[in-house]
A and B are shown apart, each in its own frame.
Chain A
Amino acid sequence: MNYFPDEVLEHVFDFITSHKDRNSVSLVCKSWYKIEKFSRQKVFIGNCYSISPERLIARFPGLKSLTLKGKPHFADFNLVPDDWGGFLYPWIKAMAKSRIGLEELRLKRMVVSDESLELLSKSFPNFRSLVLVSCEGFSTDGLAAIAANCKLLRELDLQENEVEDHRGHWLSCFPETSTSLVSLNFACLKGEINLASLERLVARSPNLKSLRLNRAVPFDMLQKLLMRAPQLVDLGTGSYVHDPSSEAYNKLKAAIQSCNSIRSLSGFLEVAPRCMSAIYPICKNLTFLNLSYAAGLQSNELTNLIQHCRKLQRLWILDCIGDKGLGVVASTCKELQELRVFPSDPFDAGNAAVTEEGLVLVSAGCPKLNSLLYFCQQMTNAALITVAKNCFGAIVRSCKGLKRLSLSGLLTDQVFYYIGMYAKQLEMLSIAFAGDSDKGMLYVLNGCKKLRKLEIRDCPFGDAALLEDMGKYETMRSLWMSSCEVTLGACKTLAKKMPNLNVEIINESEQVEFNLDDRLKVDKMYLYRTVVGHRKDAPEFVWLL
């Protein structure tokens, strides 16, 4: 390959888009490394502490698109204290300083300050896409800066962030000349917005494909927006409450008819069930349906809707759909790949509407299922095995597999045995209140070759399991164990033997002394591979071993 000029190689490499493949390419030889390095535009960093901003910039100076993830997944469930880390600012600062031509930034579970958003908006003239998922630390003021300064902004996608809503005019900060918007999602904002500005913005954005409104956008505005943007592919409704015999409702029905491109539908935080029939015409084309916030819809309303959705690939729904409803899903949505069933009332154990039965139905009826999130009250080993066989049986045949699984309940080690045996594609596993002994964890560690993230809470796994195969953790992104049987001594041992791992102990009690008994059980441990050693921004309650 030496006789190919660099430009040719670069051109070839342009076709290689997957991170894994590009990583492999860069290992072939020095010249390939060099060419790949300078031509790499997209970088994915699953753990922001596995590398530093400076090293990233040095490694990939041509960086244009960055994905960063911060806090451990269990932070979603309040297991990680607020100040743990995951700050965006250092990254923006470093990239601005080095004049990186950043165009896209995608963040998950990071702490994003208004300051960092402002710096971002002013430092990268070609910036066009900001996606924030489960982030926090910013307000609508930061959004205003983005809107005002990013002249080429195409995408502003805010998913489930905790945003301090100053009810400012951030929407009005989009200059009247900006017509480049392709995707706008502000569903997670709680405050009022300027409806007139919104309408004008939508009207002057002919490329707008994705629009997700927040609760403050009323029903009649939805209709107006749809009239302006019939080309929408992804729609998230605001408040969906109205009188079905009203003029506004009829107008909406008409407007929806002309929205032939809608493939993805979400929203419905406030919903009048009788208005759902307006949606039916677009159901046949839907590939993603998210009704997981539609607490106002009952089981039969949900099934009525879903019966029209034959092409559905991803479904997020509340458990009030019931087992019967899931049966309807199983028989209707043969293309289903991803199912998430959320509890409508997480704290009410009494009226769980779905059981393992629903899950078994879906696993049997939907051969393409590869992503599952399911809350139910009881799950027997037998059911889980059936599901595993149904899903994994297909895996063996078609080489697609369950990549991510979250389990809880008093499952025995046997379940993990099966997971280790069958779930060869498993990449992320969350376990809670399960297992009998260290064996459970070992089955998983040994069997799931592709495991990248393992998070465990309240399981009886201890030092033996933790230390059995320490090298395994270097093949994984991270391991979280909380309220298990792991001792401080074992963590220290692990940290000592594996210099490429950061072992963090998160200690929320009042005890400040570091030299505690090694036999002390650790409450929360988070370890991850890194090339930059201990992070500098750890708060006091995080001990870096």
Chain B
Amino acid sequence: MSVIEFDGHNITVSVKDVEAILGLKNESVDIHEVVSKENVKELDANYNLNSFVNHVQINRFRTFSPANLKAVIGLLLLVPSLTLRRIRSYLEKFWVLMSPPLLGVEEEVQSNVSSPSVDCGLGLKERNYLGLSDCSSVDSSGVSSLPDNNKNNLNLKATELRLGLPGSQSPARETELCLLNSGKLDEKPLFPLLPSKDGICPSSQKNVVAGNKRGFSDTMDGFSEVKGYAYAEKSWMFHDAGSDSESPQTVGHGKYPGNSGANVILSARSPGAQASVKKDEPANVLQKQPHATNGINLKQTDISNNKSSAPAAKAQVVGWPPVRSFRTKTLATSSKNNDEVDGKPGPAALFVKVSMDGAPYLRKVDLTTYSTYRELSSALEKMFSCFTLGQCGSHGAAGKEILSQSKLKDLLHGSEYVLTYKDKDGDWMLVGDVPWEMFVETCKRLKIMKSSDAIGLAPRATEKSKVIN
């Protein structure tokens, strides 16, 4: 499983994989070093610089040490529209980081966050684990840091971290969430429930606040603000993490005003990053995204009720702009170069990402659709020829025409480029050395690298590449 999974609207990040792939076991790795340009490009391309993440799903957290947190934050920061402050505020609101009580608590005072956390009727203690520096990934099940007065709702594996679901404002949604919370307690114990319309959490409802404001800054030290967008109103819609059913059960909405405490009401997704300015412009109302095209997950919920009551004009509107959903889906598929359309080959499909130096975005291939290296190679030729060719003419800048002069065939088979892959252990290997079946089992990711970069992989890269033919 790759570090970051995109299905068009969701980012799925698994800490376990983050750890493994980023090599955070020794915890001294600077997040910036391990974040490669590729990841950034990929995120950019897939998230369309002016739109921002609506959907972050964090799966199966087993442990959540500061190192892990760093990793996750770092990855989230790669998304251009998420600023540090934003992430921090969000985490403070919703996450309770749990780890075994043996870990001490360090208090750091530096924080931009001024408002105290709100203890909304649950008597939850604020936990402050973000300041921990020496916490290794510990799989500590069974230790619950939360008080019992949350009833059986909070009977979680102690180390699981869940995202809170901000409630929504429509009555329908409230009902949904209420039911949900009573029914699926094991999975979503930490959710702040429905905010009322003015964003104040009803006292009868549980609210979970992560009281990690102070410790946070410590962890954040290593990061710099990536972007400086003003996010007056953004829409974050969060699935409950780890939900097993197909439908995401609830998608909450609410506004997200910095540090106002009680609850977050996220406005509907709006396209422009420069939110506060643009929102006042009426014309932009037209550009708000309809929900229904937001991917399969969201369809399950009653998206059409998603009109936020943000003071600015309706931020999220169904059926706007008036583009046929068929068209939207088709274009989304094309532009994201995502081969995972309806009619997947079946549960045995094995999609891996393919990147190419110099290409503006990545592609995905299903390894099970090929049976030999040659098939794979020619499929990749087809896929990436449009990159090599597309580069020219559109930009004109000579500097960008890295690939324009050579044919991709030459690139793959000749001396300029080699096809490499990343295996289960995280090592980059040359494609073609092992039998095909073994390759399919171990290949996690593909990359078309320049030969010069691939020198470390095999002594005679050129000869090796000929083997692939």
Q: Cβ of A344: which chain B residues have Cβ within 8 Å of it?
A: 331, 335
C-alpha gap A408/B317 in the complex (Å): 13
Which residue on chain A has the smallest CB distance to residue B294? A347
Which residue on chain A has the smallest CB distance to residue B396? A300
Shortest distance between the CB of A510 and any CB in chain B (Å): 6
Interface of A is mostly: loop
Residue numbers of A with Cβ under 8 A of B are: 74, 76-79, 134, 160-162, 164-167, 188, 190-191, 218-219, 241-246, 269-275, 292-293, 295-296, 298, 300-301, 342-352, 375, 377-379, 406, 408-410, 430, 432-433, 457-458, 508-510
Kindly list 20 other residue pairs between chains A and B, CB separation below 8 angstroms, not including A165-B342, A345-B335, A458-B317. Answer: A134-B324, A241-B383, A243-B385, A269-B330, A273-B386, A274-B393, A293-B331, A296-B386, A343-B321, A344-B335, A346-B321, A347-B269, A349-B278, A350-B49, A350-B272, A350-B274, A508-B304, A508-B305, A509-B171, A510-B171
Taking a contact as CB atoms under 8 Å apart, the answer to whether A190 and B341 are in contact is: yes
At the interface, yes or no: B290 with Cβ under 8 Å from chain A?
A: yes
Given A350-B273, A410-B282, A508-B304, the answer on whether A245 and B390 have CB atoms closer than 8 Å is no
Q: Cβ of B320: which chain A residues have Cβ within 8 Å of it?
A: 77, 432
At the interface, yes or no: B204 with Cβ under 8 Å from chain A?
A: no
Taking a contact as CB atoms under 8 Å apart, the answer to whether B322 and A77 are in contact is: yes
C-alpha gap A409/B287 in the complex (Å): 10
C-alpha gap A272/B408 in the complex (Å): 13
Count, chain B residues at interface, CB 8 A: 59
Given A77-B323, A273-B393, A509-B172, the answer on whether A243 and B317 have CB atoms closer than 8 Å is no
Given A190-B342, A241-B386, A242-B382, the answer on whether A347 and B289 have CB atoms closer than 8 Å is yes
Given A244-B389, A348-B48, A350-B50, the answer on whether A78 and B327 have CB atoms closer than 8 Å is no
B204-254 residues at the A interface, CB under 8 angstroms: none
At the interface, yes or no: B74 with Cβ under 8 Å from chain A?
A: no
Taking a contact as CB atoms under 8 Å apart, the answer to whether B389 and A76 are in contact is: no
Taking a contact as CB atoms under 8 Å apart, the answer to whether B284 and A349 are in contact is: yes
Shortest distance between the CB of A444 and any CB in chain B (Å): 18
C-alpha gap A167/B318 in the complex (Å): 32
Q: Cβ of A408: which chain B residues have Cβ within 8 Å of it?
A: 286, 321-322
At the interface, yes or no: B107 with Cβ under 8 Å from chain A?
A: no
Taking a contact as CB atoms under 8 Å apart, the answer to whether A76 and B48 are in contact is: no
At the interface, yes or no: B394 with Cβ under 8 Å from chain A?
A: yes
Taking a contact as CB atoms under 8 Å apart, the answer to whether A349 and B392 are in contact is: no
Q: Which 8 A-B pairs give the minimum distances between C-beta atoms?
A: A77-B319, A349-B287, A350-B50, A78-B292, A274-B389, A272-B386, A347-B289, A410-B282
At the interface, yes or no: B285 with Cβ under 8 Å from chain A?
A: yes
Taking a contact as CB atoms under 8 Å apart, the answer to whether A78 and B394 are in contact is: no
Which residue on chain A has the smallest CB distance to residue B48? A348
Q: Cβ of B273: which chain A residues have Cβ within 8 Å of it?
A: 350
Residue numbers of B with Cβ under 8 A of A are: 48-51, 171-172, 175, 269, 271-274, 278, 282-287, 289-290, 292-293, 302, 304-305, 314, 317-328, 330-331, 334-335, 341-343, 381-383, 385-386, 389-390, 392-394, 407-409
Q: Cβ of B324: which chain A residues have Cβ within 8 Å of it?
A: 76-77, 134, 160
Q: Cβ of B48: which chain A residues have Cβ within 8 Å of it?
A: 345, 347-348
Given A218-B382, A408-B322, the answer on whether A342 and B389 have CB atoms closer than 8 Å is no
C-alpha gap A244/B383 in the complex (Å): 13
Taking a contact as CB atoms under 8 Å apart, the answer to whether A346 and B389 are in contact is: no
Taking a contact as CB atoms under 8 Å apart, the answer to whether A348 and B319 are in contact is: no
Taking a contact as CB atoms under 8 Å apart, the answer to whether A273 and B325 are in contact is: no
Q: Cβ of B386: which chain A residues have Cβ within 8 Å of it?
A: 241, 270-273, 296
Taking a contact as CB atoms under 8 Å apart, the answer to whether A160 and B327 are in contact is: yes
Taking a contact as CB atoms under 8 Å apart, the answer to whether A77 and B407 are in contact is: no
Shortest distance between the CB of A340 and any CB in chain B (Å): 11
Shortest distance between the CB of B228 and any CB in chain A (Å): 15
Taking a contact as CB atoms under 8 Å apart, the answer to whether B407 and A243 are in contact is: yes
Taking a contact as CB atoms under 8 Å apart, the answer to whether B382 and A293 are in contact is: no
Q: Cβ of A509: which chain B residues have Cβ within 8 Å of it?
A: 171-172, 305
Taking a contact as CB atoms under 8 Å apart, the answer to whether B319 and A167 are in contact is: no
Taking a contact as CB atoms under 8 Å apart, the answer to whether B382 and A241 are in contact is: yes
Listed residue (B273, B326, B392) with the most chain A CB atoms within 10 angstroms of its CB? B326
Given A160-B326, A274-B390, A509-B171, the answer on whether A433 and B285 have CB atoms closer than 8 Å is yes
Partner of A348, one of B51, B318, B341: B51
Taking a contact as CB atoms under 8 Å apart, the answer to whether A342 and B327 are in contact is: yes
Taking a contact as CB atoms under 8 Å apart, the answer to whether B304 and A301 are in contact is: no
Given A344-B331, A432-B320, A457-B319, the answer on whether A78 and B325 have CB atoms closer than 8 Å is yes
Shortest distance between the CB of B330 and any CB in chain A (Å): 6
Taking a contact as CB atoms under 8 Å apart, the answer to whether B385 and A241 are in contact is: yes
C-alpha gap A408/B314 in the complex (Å): 14
Which residue on chain B has the smallest CB distance to residue A191? B343
Shortest distance between the CB of B382 and any CB in chain A (Å): 6
Q: Cβ of B325: which chain A residues have Cβ within 8 Å of it?
A: 76-78
Q: Cβ of B321: which chain A residues have Cβ within 8 Å of it?
A: 343, 346, 375, 408
Query: What would be 14 A-B contacts, judged by CB atoms less than 8 Å apart?
Result: A77-B323, A79-B319, A134-B326, A190-B341, A269-B330, A272-B389, A273-B393, A295-B334, A298-B394, A342-B323, A344-B331, A346-B287, A348-B271, A350-B273
Listed residue (A78, A162, A295, A300) with the most chain B CB atoms within 10 angstroms of its CB? A78
C-alpha gap A283/B280 in the complex (Å): 44
Shortest distance between the CB of A513 and any CB in chain B (Å): 14
Which residue on chain B has the smallest CB distance to residue A482? B319
Shortest distance between the CB of A306 and any CB in chain B (Å): 15
Shortest distance between the CB of B44 and any CB in chain A (Å): 13
Shortest distance between the CB of B407 and any CB in chain A (Å): 6
Taking a contact as CB atoms under 8 Å apart, the answer to whether A293 and B334 are in contact is: yes
Given A76-B322, A76-B325, A272-B389, the answer on whether A243 and B381 have CB atoms closer than 8 Å is yes
Q: Cβ of B271: which chain A residues have Cβ within 8 Å of it?
A: 347-350
Q: Cβ of A167: which chain B residues have Cβ within 8 Å of it?
A: 343
Partner of B304, one of A78, A272, A274: A78
Q: Cβ of A190: which chain B residues have Cβ within 8 Å of it?
A: 341-343
Given A79-B318, A346-B323, A349-B272, the answer on whether A410 and B283 have CB atoms closer than 8 Å is yes
Taking a contact as CB atoms under 8 Å apart, the answer to whether B318 and A292 are in contact is: no
Taking a contact as CB atoms under 8 Å apart, the answer to whether A295 and B51 are in contact is: no
C-alpha gap A166/B319 in the complex (Å): 29
C-alpha gap A244/B51 in the complex (Å): 35
C-alpha gap A269/B386 in the complex (Å): 12
Q: Cβ of B285: which chain A residues have Cβ within 8 Å of it?
A: 410, 433
Given A76-B325, A342-B327, A375-B321, the answer on whether A296 and B392 have CB atoms closer than 8 Å is no
Taking a contact as CB atoms under 8 Å apart, the answer to whether B318 and A78 are in contact is: yes
Shortest distance between the CB of A100 and any CB in chain B (Å): 31
Taking a contact as CB atoms under 8 Å apart, the answer to whether B407 and A245 are in contact is: yes
Which residue on chain A has the smallest CB distance to residue B394? A298
Which residue on chain B has the smallest CB distance to residue A269? B334
Q: Cβ of A165: which chain B residues have Cβ within 8 Å of it?
A: 342-343
Which residue on chain A has the smallest CB distance to residue B325? A78
C-alpha gap A349/B49 in the complex (Å): 11
Shortest distance between the CB of A71 and any CB in chain B (Å): 12
Which residue on chain A has the smallest CB distance to residue B283? A378
C-alpha gap A342/B331 in the complex (Å): 11
Shortest distance between the CB of A322 and any CB in chain B (Å): 13
Taking a contact as CB atoms under 8 Å apart, the answer to whether A293 and B327 are in contact is: yes
Q: Cβ of B383: which chain A residues have Cβ within 8 Å of it?
A: 241
Q: Cβ of A244: which chain B residues have Cβ within 8 Å of it?
A: 389
Partner of A243, one of B269, B318, B409: B409
Which residue on chain A has the smallest CB distance to residue B270? A349
Q: Cβ of B334: which chain A residues have Cβ within 8 Å of it?
A: 269-270, 293, 295-296
Q: Cβ of A270: which chain B residues have Cβ within 8 Å of it?
A: 334, 386
Taking a contact as CB atoms under 8 Å apart, the answer to whether A409 and B390 are in contact is: no
Taking a contact as CB atoms under 8 Å apart, the answer to whether B394 and A347 are in contact is: no
Which residue on chain B has the smallest CB distance to residue A159? B326
Q: Cβ of B327: which chain A residues have Cβ within 8 Å of it?
A: 160, 292-293, 342
C-alpha gap A245/B51 in the complex (Å): 38
Q: Cβ of B282: which chain A residues have Cβ within 8 Å of it?
A: 409-410, 433
C-alpha gap A165/B390 in the complex (Å): 31
Shortest distance between the CB of B301 and any CB in chain A (Å): 12
Taking a contact as CB atoms under 8 Å apart, the answer to whether B331 and A273 are in contact is: no
Shortest distance between the CB of A80 and any CB in chain B (Å): 9
